[in-house]
Structure 1
């Protein structure tokens, strides 16, 4: 049981079998402030670069979890500007009450998750948001969301531009865009 609780604390939303454990209890009826406190020591200053708005988003999907755990958002970002970076400041969707950008890192054999204020995609580069790496966390889902549905997610850039993208909701067992 100790290993399961540790896995839940490290992986959070990716471990569906731990929904009843204390590792995810902070999400039950929690506010955004409580989630910030969980990651407060790991935050970094936001980028002051506005960057380009030449972003293409591909393969957007959300692992839809029950309300007690945050759902994970995954996608591939393509900076189509060869001279300037693109800065992703955040996501917004009416289907969830709160969204955050996170990064999972590994240090000394231990995984850690930290909220990040933005993510920079260098000129001409591609960045994948995937389990175990950069990802979005989406909390407070609207009632009635179901796997298989598509929702609109607005990708907010440093330039102020918002790019609407259709993202498919997938089951808790999904691990890639091609999974059900």
Structure 2
């Protein structure tokens, strides 16, 4: 019986380590093609910030954060719904007291290579929705300020081009999570 418990303990630790390594690789370039550990290494978008203020009619759904070890940035994912039928909504960024830094990113593919770059903002066209998901638009959160744990909820403020901040409850998920419904 002791050998069986030891085997499960080792297997569990190995599995947890594997999930952490895979999630870290996913954020450090495993599927993005770029380094992520240092703010200076983030590529910047060539696109200038939007001068459009846009609408305040944003609804945020399914907000979650893939919580990684402190040495790696955590990823923020959500669905943005522009409920205004005539004006775009411009997301300038997100902010939370749980992390010291946050940035908007976009993953793109060119000539078979995947690349990630910071973007100054994101526009959601009138009446449209936009998903922030792994391999696409996403937020990066660095410098966690507390001992955060999977399962916790934190408040994230979505900052719009109008200056309005929309507070949203986001769930912290394990490094192995790949969608809102995952643990």
Moved over 3 A (4+): none
Deviations 1:123-151, CA, capped at 9 Å, x for gaps: 00000000000000000012310000000
Whether the aligned pair in 2 keeps the contact of 1:13 and 1:72 (CA below 8 Å) is: no
Q: Which runs of 5+ in 2 are unaligned?
A: 1-20
**Equivalent of residue 12 in structure 1, options 27, 48, 57:** 27
1:39 equivalent to 2:37? Answer no
Q: What are the superposed Cα offsets for residues 43-66 of structure 1, whole Å, 9 maximum, x if unpaired?
A: 321000000000000000000000
Partner of 1:66: 69
TM-score (norm 1): 0.82
The correspondence for 2:83, drawn from 80, 85, 91, is 80
Asked if the contact 1:73/1:135 (under 8 Å) is kept, the reply is: yes
Please give the alpha-carbon distance, in whole angstroms, between the structure 2 residues aligned to 1:151 and 1:13.
24
The number of aligned residues is: 158
Structure whose alpha-carbon radius of gyration is higher? 2
Residues 25-47 of structure 1, C-alpha deviations (whole Å, 9 max, x = no match): x62xx4x4x24xx314x332100
